[in-house]
Structure 1
């Protein structure tokens, strides 16, 4: 399914008033995971600015031990500090990478802003080296704009 075809589906999920926020996030994770072949782990992390940590929210994919990540640590932690998208074409070449699984070859993390503050991020792992393009970044920014309406 193309990104253009997915956009109205994402909007329909975030607009569904019969679902809780976490249910909406989980369904978005499921949609992306099942619709985009190289999205092998899809999840949201949310920031606690008091403790400077990220906390795992709804996700789809292999179980992870990384339920709390300090700001600055790993790709997700770096995005919590930089507020910028971070695309890692090959995790093996990245110094500050927290290994989740030997099957993960690349990662993309896009920050989630609500009311001008970085409140978290969407994190996607792939079992393929270098699959993410600018189109992925723009699409995930759209997803996060829709998710931000829930906050």
Structure 2
């Protein structure tokens, strides 16, 4: 597939996701390298939504280690249970944080980040990483993001 995306910014958030999902599916089709697929998924999400930061952290031994991402430089390692990413890993659940300053133990990789959604990547019943998305706006993420980002993760994990 050509690596060009059709960006659909003039519609609702849900319609944007619905337009993007088949493009991500096509982009990852036939590619089995997980790192390459994470990188392209990040790029597609960043291009579509222009979020402040979008990327993956992968479980390596007893910590999350920075993986493919789009945005400014980021924290490299995060301990289990620390910050939003480490908490999502420890709890194996999606966390939507409307105001990161109000999240106990938030790790501020950038002072520009105001809200965040973190979703665990679960394979064979085990968290293998997280998808982390940050916005420079308060209260930017909701259950629509959760539903569709979980679909992106499903596409990623099934390639």
Give yes or no for TM over 0.5: yes
TM-score, normalization: structure 2?
A: 0.86
TM-score, normalization: structure 1?
A: 0.90
- 2:65 matched residue in structure 1: 55
Residue 136 (structure 2) pairs with residue 124 (structure 1): no
- 2:143 matched residue in structure 1: 134
Give per-residue Cα distances to partners, 1:68-119, cap 9 Å, x unaligned.
1110111100111100100110111112100011110001000111122111
- 1:81 matched residue in structure 2: 90
Residue 41 (structure 2) pairs with residue 28 (structure 1): yes
- 2:12 matched residue in structure 1: none
Question: What secondary structure is seen at the aligned counterpart in 1 of 2:129?
Answer: strand
Aligned-pair CA distance for 1:67: 1.0
Q: Which runs of 5+ in 2 are unaligned?
A: 1-7, 9-15
Distance (Å, rounded) in 2 between the aligned partners of 1:127 and 1:16: 35
Determine if contact 1:114/1:149 at 8 Å carries over to the other structure: no
Give per-residue Cα distances to partners, 1:118-141, cap 9 Å, x unaligned.
111100000010011111000110
- 2:29 matched residue in structure 1: 15
Residue 54 (structure 2) pairs with residue 42 (structure 1): yes
Q: Which runs of 5+ in 1 are unaligned?
A: none
